[in-house]
Amino acid sequence: MRTRRDWIATTGLTAVAGALGTGTLSRSRARADAPAPSPVAAPVDAAWALAPLDAGSPLVDGWSFAGMDPVTDGRAAIHMRHASGATAVVHLCRRNPAHERGLASTRHFDLVLMNGAQGDTTTPEGVGRATLALARRIAANEPGASSAALEAFSTHHEPPKPSPA
């Protein structure tokens, strides 16, 4: 099964190739039978997952919560900042017990470090501890989450969710 990273790499390269083009076809001469790109779900606010954290809220070991992007393509990016200026991004994805997990997991979610590696590098201790602090906050908020809020997420191994028809 393809991973989210595979999907991003494939679609990213496709988009670059499409943008560059060959210079031989104009937009008006594009193939009429080409499939339309699949729509993806509109962004969904997931601030409930980390409430009451605000930007700048301390986590642990000099790391703080810097912000969270809306759920887009089945995941929400959580941004952390260290007092030294270092940053880290963790994707909040739906948990799938059949696949490997991220740095931390809750009943419904995996927190996957987005550092460009393929699981083959050592995670700095402080980043791991800060991610665990985020997981504890999310776990405390999960019981109050609606099923619609949970369904907005995809696992790390699924392609983005299509938008409802």
- As a whole number, the mean pLDDT across the chain is 77
The band of 99, judged by pLDDT with boundaries at 50, 70 and 90, is confident
The band of 140, judged by pLDDT with boundaries at 50, 70 and 90, is very high
The band of 40, judged by pLDDT with boundaries at 50, 70 and 90, is low
- The per-residue pLDDT for 160 is 59
- The per-residue pLDDT for 41 is 54
Determine what percent of the chain is predicted with pLDDT higher than 90.
50
Q: Is the pLDDT of residue 127 over 80?
A: yes
Residue 114's contacts (CB-CB under 8 Å, 6 or more residues apart) are: 77, 89, 90, 91
Q: Which of 26-35, 98-107, 129-138 is modeled with the greatest confidence?
A: 129-138
Question: Is the pLDDT higher at 40 or at 156?
Answer: 156
- The model scores a pTM over 0.95: no
- The per-residue pLDDT for 121 is 80
The band of 31, judged by pLDDT with boundaries at 50, 70 and 90, is very low
- The per-residue pLDDT for 42 is 62
Find the mean pLDDT for residues 121-131: 92
- The per-residue pLDDT for 46 is 92
3-state secondary structure the chain: CCCHHHHHHHHHHHHHHHHHCCCCCCHHHCCCCCCCCCCCCCCECCHHHHCCCCCCCEEECCEEEEEECCEECCEEEEEEEECCCCEEEEEEEECCCCCCCCCEECCCEEEEECCCCCCCCCCCHHHHHHHHHHHHHHHHHHHHCCHHHHHCCCECCCCCCCCCC
Q: Is the pLDDT of residue 132 over 50?
A: yes
Find the mean pLDDT for residues 120-148: 93
